Amino acid sequence: MDFQLTHVYGDCLELAYRGRPLFRYTYMPETPAVEAPKPYFHPLYTLDGDVVTLFRPHDHRWHHGLAMTCAHLSGENFWGGGTYVHRRAGGQGPGYVVLDNIGRQAHQAWDQIDCTPDGVVLRERLLWITQAGATWINEARRIAVTEVDPARGCWRLEFGTRLTNVHAEPLVFSSPTVEGRPKAGYGGLFWRGVRAFTGGAILMGGGLEAEGDEADVIGKAAPWLAFVGQHDGVDRSATLLFLDQPGNPRYPNKWFVRAQAFACASFALTFDEAYTLPPGAALALDYHIVVGNGAWSRAQIEAYISRAAR
């Protein structure tokens, strides 16, 4: 069998392809409460065997590889760490404050764990629970790997989620930029890259690109974003291609991305505009991430997207 899926019950799932590790998905994390515990992918590997995620970096302990997050949700923090407050108490200026508002995502059950010659499909149920213990969101999550291409040196991770508001009031998904901090519209499905990728190159649909500094592209809308970085210790690079899907609200996505201080990127649905979810309503999101060996050019990226669309 090409795919090998290992389930460490009550902890994680690990996926490999022909003996090559692809990811570990920890679904019952033991991270501190201040980091907004949430399921996460780490390590995430290229087919060359190089790790492209970072877990609990010293500058932002709540950055957990690749994870679904929300920094501001009707006053609750499902991101971790401090909450951005534009006008703090006592007349102080804007800044981050650790409040009693840090929620968590709690795994409930696996509805599907299928590993076949054609790929792997996982379906998970989760609850988003506030620090006070109230359940605000029922989440149904789909994780799939159905494409591995050793000849082209890449594989694709599919991540779909359906977030249903089970709170008695509307839920407002927001971000620090919506709350008043410029160019800090992070949230959603968020990737933190390894330290070696700092200063990497960013390419985006529509001809947008930057190298080493995200200032010219952060917050811009495009159907895709690619981050190219170089590994330490080996003479290799890697490319992560983030693909928004046409059925998503606010397509094409506005991107939160950094390269200068560290490497990260997120599908930022609420980069600079809040999204309100009425009681009983659901927000459905579908994202794909391609993990590739080597430094992909724009021509390679566009050729891959063209083939995938057929």
Determine the pLDDT at residue 265: 98
Query: Residue 91: left if φ>0, alpha if ψ -120 to 50, beta else—which one?
Result: left
List, for residues 210-224, the tens digit of each pLDDT value: 999 999 999 999 999
Question: pLDDT value at position 62?
Answer: 98
Q: Across all residues in the chain, what is the average pLDDT?
A: 96
Please report the pLDDT score of residue 169 as a whole number: 98
Q: Are 280 and 168 in contact (CB under 8 A)?
A: no
Q: What is the DSSP letter of 89?
A: G
Per the CB < 8 A criterion, the answer to whether 284 and 244 are in contact is: no
pLDDT at 101: 98
What is residue 52's three-state secondary structure? coil
pTM above threshold 0.95: yes
Domain that holds residue 73: 3-308
Question: Could you report the per-residue pLDDT of 63-115, keeping only the tens digit for each?
Answer: 999 999 999 999 999 999 999 999 776 777 789 999 999 999 999 999 999 99
Q: Is the dihedral of CA 164, 225, 268, 192 positive or negative?
A: positive
- Assess contact for 66 and 51: CB atoms under 8 A: no
CATH number of the structural domain spanning residue 297? 2.70.98
Structure tokens given for 198:
């700092």
Instruction: List pLDDT tens digits, range 158-202.
Output: 999 999 999 999 999 999 999 999 999 999 999 999 999 999 999
Listed in order, strand segments (DSSP E) in 53-168 are 66-69, 72-73, 83-85, 95-97, 104-116, 119-129, 135-149, 154-165
- For residues 215 and 217, what is the distance between their CA atoms, to the nearest angstrom? 6
Q: What's the domain count of the chain?
A: 1
User: Where residue 1 falls among pLDDT bands split at 50, 70, 90?
Assistant: low
